[in-house]
């Protein structure tokens, strides 16, 4: 069920208006200058309802089209581009413009001057209701509007969005990707092609093409833009590309040219990208433009057989290399498949909410600083041998006291560290750094990497120490990760009458040397060792290694100990299908101290052979502290 924004229920308000015979006037977003601007007053604006602007107003005229939008007086080109992308996907559009047929002006629906829209905000769908009074000058809409004078879905959608953010002027700030997240609940990724041009790395070019191609296949919404000075927004380059205003990417195409056509086309492979310009009829005039030589080399039917075709007026093709050279930013809104009933790759999703605050949870982004681990920490497990993960860190951009959204957001990013296999409490010493995202002053930061089996933490941070703010972390893994925030520093103190924890120890089993099978082993049997770390009833187990007498494990475990005088046991077994064979055990009695110590231990038998030395040794790194919040 959606949440009613500011407690306003569409059905209740409409019913009340109809019973009174009155049109809705929204007290939460009144028709005055406060709803328009936060920095100026415009006395020339009049608020009018659609029925005052045309005889037959409609939400939609002859279907929703991606090319029926016009920008108004505010500089929200990003919003218009996002609406254009949304209009390309009817199911997504209908989620935002909910029950649009029931809201349409016609004889079946009773008109009450109220409309509703759905926006996804940090894990929840919000139902935002508005009245239909719109800002006008000289009888024309001032802000976003459709090309048809009697079509109003885009103007009303913009008003609902402005209400959510406080006023129309706030829509000067924003990005296409973030707006698409609000429209769809997708995951935003922002890419900067300028970095590729600087590095001129063919592998990076190929990786970006693959990423865009896969995103297109998964029906992601992709847009791109050319950065420019504010005064140049809307002007054109010599090649016919508009500056500062977004294009929709509508196809990414790798073509293996038939051998019979390679001589004519002049290439065996083509890397092409198709763009749509929602801003007008002007198009790219370089290679692959409408009248270029490239199209004349073979006929239209042959191009279409290779998948190189047009679907909408205003679309054009260009080579991927030209695309990289001319465009600055690419925004992708991914839709992550979390359905269990799908033949495509599915992901397990963890959504977690927290905040950076003044209670010691805002330590900044310098990994080796003393304050770094005071940031929020989120634990998760990778359960397969190797798994690709995706992480999206999204900070709130509307908070109480902020006059305009997007201007006071923090520079944010995150780090991923590998931790002990049995970590249950917050980390107090730095683990192995596995991934660091970009740090950006944007609403969201996205990152993806591959990780081996084990336990990890994500540490979301602001760039500098001290800033505060709420955020949401979305984590996607190939199988359930058990993602959760670590809030406790250490085990709670026990009852005074029961012996409590006296020491915390972190042990890393590095390797073993010189292991051998017992004399009773069969001649065909191989040594497939696995290791179990045991301490006061808790254990951590590794996978086995095939035919290896000197395995390297590098497995960590942390134990909170009531009886530190007892050794930590490192048990070596040989893997069998039914029951594993015990080989030997090491008894780690050295505590290592707070600085830690590498110790090589002899191996012994057990039970009757408890004092019998067995072949081989085990090397560990052990560190301990009587302060339970030290490790």
Residue 528 pLDDT level (bands cut at 50, 70, 90): very high
Above pLDDT 90, what percent of the chain?
Answer: 65
Query: What is the C-alpha radius of gyration for the chain, rounded to an integer number of angstroms?
Result: 31
Distances (CA, A) of 631 to 380, 423, 426: 19, 10, 9
DSSP-based three-state secondary structure for 574: strand
- pLDDT above 70 for 399: no
**DSSP alpha helix (H) spans, 218-287:** 259-265
Q: Angle at CA 411, nearest 5°, toward 442 and 475? A: 70
What residue spans in the chain does CATH classification 2.60.120.380 cover? 348-486
- pLDDT above 90 for 558: yes
Question: What's the pLDDT at 153?
Answer: 93
Question: What's the pLDDT at 494?
Answer: 61
Question: What's the pLDDT at 67?
Answer: 62
- Nearest alpha-carbon partner for 248 in 307, 331, 320, 336: 331
Strand residues in 479-595 grouped as ranges (E): 484-486, 503-513, 529-535, 538-541, 552-561, 568-574, 581-588
Condensed to tens digits (0 to 9), the pLDDT of residues 572-599 reads 999 988 888 899 999 999 999 999 999 9
- pLDDT above 80 for 69: no
Q: For residue 295, give the DSSP letter.
A: H
What residue spans in the chain does CATH classification 3.90.70.10 cover? 188-334
Cα–Cα dist 198/408, whole Å: 30
The architecture in CATH of the region 188-334 reads Alpha-Beta Complex (3.90)
Cα–Cα dist 260/216, whole Å: 29
- Residue 72: CB partners within 8 Å, gap ≥ 6? 141, 142, 143, 144, 145
- pLDDT above 50 for 48: yes
Cα–Cα dist 168/32, whole Å: 11
- Residue 14: CB partners within 8 Å, gap ≥ 6? 24, 112, 114
Question: What's the pLDDT at 498?
Answer: 67
Q: What would the mean pLDDT of 65-70 be, rounded to a whole number?
A: 70
Residue 54 pLDDT level (bands cut at 50, 70, 90): very high
- Nearest alpha-carbon partner for 556 in 418, 444, 377: 418
- pLDDT above 50 for 402: no
Where b means 16+ CB within 10 Å and e means fewer, 577-603 reads: eeebebbbbbebeebbeeebeebebeb
Mean of per-residue pLDDT scores for the chain: 90
- Residue 502: CB partners within 8 Å, gap ≥ 6? 561, 562, 563, 564, 626
- pLDDT above 90 for 521: no
CB 116 within 8 A of CB 109: no
Question: What's the pLDDT at 627?
Answer: 94
CB 362 within 8 A of CB 465: yes
Q: What would the mean pLDDT of 367-391 be, rounded to a whole number?
A: 95
The tokens describing 14, both together, are 């409409």
Cα–Cα dist 89/13, whole Å: 30
15-19, 94-98, 144-148, 240-244: which has the minimum mean pLDDT? 144-148
- pLDDT above 80 for 74: no
Phi, psi (deg, nearest 5) at residue 256: -90, 110
Count Cα atoms within 13 angstroms, Cβ side, for 273: 28
Question: What's the pLDDT at 341?
Answer: 61
If one compares 456 and 520, the residue with the highest pLDDT of the two is 456
- Nearest alpha-carbon partner for 553 in 620, 624, 455: 620
Question: What's the pLDDT at 314?
Answer: 80
pTM: 0.91
355 beta partners:
470
Condensed to tens digits (0 to 9), the pLDDT of residues 186-208 reads 999 999 887 777 766 778 888 99
- pLDDT above 80 for 108: no
Cα–Cα dist 623/616, whole Å: 23
99-108, 221-230, 335-344: which has the minimum mean pLDDT? 335-344
What residue spans in the chain does CATH classification 2.60.40.150 cover? 503-625
Cα–Cα dist 631/628, whole Å: 7
Identify the top-confidence range among 58-67, 256-265, 533-542.
533-542
Condensed to tens digits (0 to 9), the pLDDT of residues 220-253 reads 999 999 988 888 888 899 999 999 888 999 999 9
Above pLDDT 70, what percent of the chain?
Answer: 95
DSSP string computed for 105-173 = SSTTSPP-SEEEEEEEETTEEEEEEEES-EEEETTEESSSEESSTTB-HHHHHHHHHHHHHSSSGGGGS
- Residue 562: CB partners within 8 Å, gap ≥ 6? 499, 500, 501, 502, 536
- Pairing between β-strand 412-419 and β-strand 444-462 as defined by DSSP bridges: antiparallel
Count Cα atoms within 13 angstroms, Cβ side, for 316: 25
Sheet of 247-256, strands arranged across:
187-192, 329-334, 221-225, 247-256, 269-276, 315-319
Q: Which CATH number does the domain 503-625 belong to among 1.10.30.50, 3.40.50.700, 2.60.40.150, 2.120.10.30?
A: 2.60.40.150
Q: Angle at CA 218, nearest 5°, toward 127 and 382? A: 90
Cα–Cα dist 363/377, whole Å: 11
- Nearest alpha-carbon partner for 595 in 557, 554, 631: 631
Four-residue CA torsion sign, 255, 92, 80, 181: negative
Question: What's the pLDDT at 373?
Answer: 95
- pLDDT above 70 for 271: yes
Q: What would the mean pLDDT of 129-143 be, rounded to a whole number?
A: 93
Length of the chain: 631
Cα–Cα dist 2/10, whole Å: 12
Distances (CA, A) of 393 to 122, 197, 240, 308, 383: 11, 27, 36, 36, 22
Question: What's the pLDDT at 161?
Answer: 95
Residues classed as catalytic: 277
- Nearest alpha-carbon partner for 602 in 563, 567, 574, 554: 567
Q: Which CATH number does the domain 348-486 belong to among 1.10.3230.20, 1.10.10.10, 3.20.20.150, 2.60.120.380?
A: 2.60.120.380
């Amino acid at each position: 069920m959606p949440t009613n924004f500011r407690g306003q229920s569409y059905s209740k308000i409409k019913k009340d208006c109809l019973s009174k015979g009155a049109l809705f006037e929204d007290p939460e977003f009144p028709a005055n200058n406060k709803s328009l601007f936060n920095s100026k007053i415009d006395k020339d604006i009049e608020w009018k309802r659609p029925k005052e602007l045309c005889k037959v107003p409609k939400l939609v005229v002859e279907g929703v089209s991606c090319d029926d939008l016009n920008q108004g007086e505010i500089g929200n080109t990003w919003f218009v581009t996002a609406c254009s992308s949304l209009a390309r996907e009817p199911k997504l559009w209908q989620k935002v413009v909910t029950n649009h047929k029931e809201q349409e002006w016609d004889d079946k629906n009773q008109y009450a001057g109220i409309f509703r829209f759905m926006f996804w905000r940090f894990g929840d769908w919000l139902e935002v209701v508005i009245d239909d009074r719109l800002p006008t000058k000289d009888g024309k809409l001032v802000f976003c509007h459709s090309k048809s004078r009697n079509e109003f879905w885009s103007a009303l959608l913009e008003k609902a969005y402005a209400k959510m953010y406080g006023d129309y002027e706030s829509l000067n700030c924003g990005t296409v990707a973030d707006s698409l997240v609000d429209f769809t609940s997708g995951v935003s990724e922002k890419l900067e092609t300028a970095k590729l041009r600087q590095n001129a790395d063919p592998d990076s070019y190929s990786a970006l093409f693959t990423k865009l191609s896969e995103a297109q296949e998964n029906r992601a919404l992709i847009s791109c833009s050319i950065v420019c000075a504010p005064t140049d927004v809307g002007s054109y380059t010599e090649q016919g590309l508009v500056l500062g205003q977004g294009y929709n990417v509508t196809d990414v195409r790798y073509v293996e040219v038939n051998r019979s056509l390679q001589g004519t086309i002049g290439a065996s492979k083509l890397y092409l990208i198709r763009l749509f310009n929602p801003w007008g009829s002007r198009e790219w005039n370089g290679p692959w433009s409408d009248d270029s030589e490239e199209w004349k080399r073979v006929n239209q039917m042959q191009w279409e057989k290779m998948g190189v075709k047009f679907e909408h007026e205003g679309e054009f093709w260009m080579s991927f290399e030209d695309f990289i050279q001319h465009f600055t930013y690419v925004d992708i809104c991914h839709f992550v498949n979390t359905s269990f009933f799908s033949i495509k790759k599915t992901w397990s999703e963890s959504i977690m909410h927290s905040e950076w605050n003044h209670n010691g949870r805002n330590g900044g982004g310098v990994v080796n600083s003393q304050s770094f681990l005071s940031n929020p920490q989120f634990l998760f497990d990778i359960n397969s041998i190797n798994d690709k993960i995706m992480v999206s860190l999204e900070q709130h951009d509307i908070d109480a006291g902020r006059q305009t959204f997007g201007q006071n957001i923090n520079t944010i990013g995150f780090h991923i560290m590998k931790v002990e296999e049995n970590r249950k409490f917050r980390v107090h010493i730095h683990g192995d750094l596995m991934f660091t995202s970009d740090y950006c002053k944007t609403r969201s930061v996205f990152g993806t990497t591959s990780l081996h089996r084990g336990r990890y933490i994500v540490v979301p941070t602001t760039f500098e120490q001290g800033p505060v703010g709420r955020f949401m972390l979305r984590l996607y893994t190939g199988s359930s990760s058990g993602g959760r925030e670590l809030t406790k520093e250490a085990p709670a103190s026990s009852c005074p009458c029961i012996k409590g924890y006296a020491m915390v120890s972190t042990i890393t089993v590095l390797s073993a040397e010189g292991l051998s099978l017992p004399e009773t082993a069969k001649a065909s049997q191989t040594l497939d060792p696995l290791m179990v770390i045991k301490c006061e009833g808790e254990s951590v187990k590794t996978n086995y290694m095939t035919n290896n007498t000197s395995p390297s494990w590098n497995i960590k475990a942390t134990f909170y100990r009531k009886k530190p005088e007892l050794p930590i046991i490192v048990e070596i077994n040989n893997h069998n299908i039914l029951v594993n064979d015990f080989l030997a055990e090491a008894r780690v009695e050295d505590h290592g101290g707070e600085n830690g110590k590498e110790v090589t231990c002899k191996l012994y038998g057990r039970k009757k052979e408890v004092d019998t030395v067995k072949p081989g040794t085990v090397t560990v790194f052990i560190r301990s502290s009587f302060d339970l919040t030290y490790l």
